[in-house]
Structure 1
Amino acid sequence: MIKGFKDFIMRGNVVELAIAVVIGTAFAAVVDTFVSSIVTPILNVFGSPDTGGWGIDLRAGDTVDGVNPTLIDLGAIVNALIVFLITAAVVYFAFVVPMNKFTEMQKKRKGIQEGVPEPTDTELLTEIRDLLKAQRQA
């Protein structure tokens, strides 16, 4: 039972997924701050003062505690998309690409060729049998 769990955890996919989740979560806070501090003010320049930014006001003058509950905030949607794209790009280029290169180097070091399937046990045994037959006949 413990060996099965260890095998599951040590698979490349699970390790890559864990790295992506941890780093993605940590980096998302940095990207979110960047987007809300730099991108949001730029987007708000194009909005009207009545809407409080880049969005659509469904019912003007309907504010509760300084927040407009009838605002469709397009700026927030654009911010979320930018945060997602930047986070995904950083995780991909900083972790997935190097991990793939490392895996490729390990396969080359071990002599495993891409696209060439490893022979099955039956094929190996057949080859050994044929070699032994050829040695006896010689």
Structure 2
Amino acid sequence: MIKEFKEFIARGNVVDLAVGIIIGAAFTAIVNSLVADLINPIIGLLTGGTDFSGHYIVLKGNVPDGASLAAARDSGAAVFAYGAFLSAVINFLIIAWAVFLLVKGVNKLQSAAIRKKEEEAAAPSGPTQEELLLQIRDELRAQRG
């Protein structure tokens, strides 16, 4: 069983998957910072200067006016945290857009590589016209003397 496990871990696709997960986690941290530190303040400015991700509506319970979302949740009140949800949607859209651009770029590179291989395969593998002329010249010189 240990031998099978080592073979499983040593497969290239498992290592690639692990690298992808690590890069994805780092990329998620960057996107979260982008949304929280750059986009949400702009949206908050447009919506009245408050932190957009902290917007909520109290459905049930007592929450002091102006309390943060964390304080409202800690008080046990039922809150409709639409700001946090919209932040998550914005995060998703940014990640989806970045993945789309990444896949598009990779597909473009793959297409270029495939075209190059096809062109190389289609090219004649024999000597060029200049090489043939040089061979003829050399043979004529050898016959003359």
- Higher helix content, 1 or 2: 2
Distance in 2 between residues matched to 1:45 and 1:73, nearest whole Å? 19
Q: Which runs of 4+ in 1 moved over 6 A?
A: 63-66
Distance in 2 between residues matched to 1:102 and 1:40, nearest whole Å? 34
- The alpha-carbon distance between structure 1 residues 84 and 19, as it changes in their structure 2 partners (threshold 3 A), is farther
Distance in 1 between residues matched to 2:89 and 2:104, nearest whole Å? 22
Q: 1:68 and 2:69 equivalent?
A: no
Q: Give the equivalent residue in structure 2 for 1:119.
A: none
Q: Give the equivalent residue in structure 2 for 1:54.
A: 55
Distance in 2 between residues matched to 1:54 and 1:44, nearest whole Å? 13
Cα drift, residue 46 of structure 1: 3.8
Q: Give the equivalent residue in structure 1 for 2:110.
A: 103
DSSP 3-state at the match of 1:61: coil
Q: Give the equivalent residue in structure 2 for 1:9.
A: 13
Aligned residues with identical type, % of pairs? 29
Write out per-residue CA displacement over residues 23-73 of structure 1, whole angstroms, 9 at most, x where no aligned residue. 3321211111221223434348748x9xx9422111353479961122211
Cα drift, residue 97 of structure 1: 1.8
Distance in 1 between residues matched to 2:87 and 2:114, nearest whole Å? 41
**Aligned partners of 2:58 and 2:80 also within 8 Å:** yes
**Aligned partners of 1:44 and 1:53 also within 8 Å:** no
DSSP 3-state at the match of 1:58: strand
Q: Give the equivalent residue in structure 1 for 2:85.
A: 77
C-alpha RMSD over aligned residues = 3.9
**Aligned partners of 2:55 and 2:82 also within 8 Å:** yes
Cα drift, residue 81 of structure 1: 0.9
Q: Give the letter aligned to residue 38 of structure 1.
A: L
Q: Give the letter aligned to residue 87 of structure 1.
A: I
- The alpha-carbon distance between structure 1 residues 23 and 80, as it changes in their structure 2 partners (threshold 3 A), is same
Larger Rg: 2
Q: Normalized against structure 2, the TM-score is what? A: 0.50
Q: Give the equivalent residue in structure 2 for 1:38.
A: 38
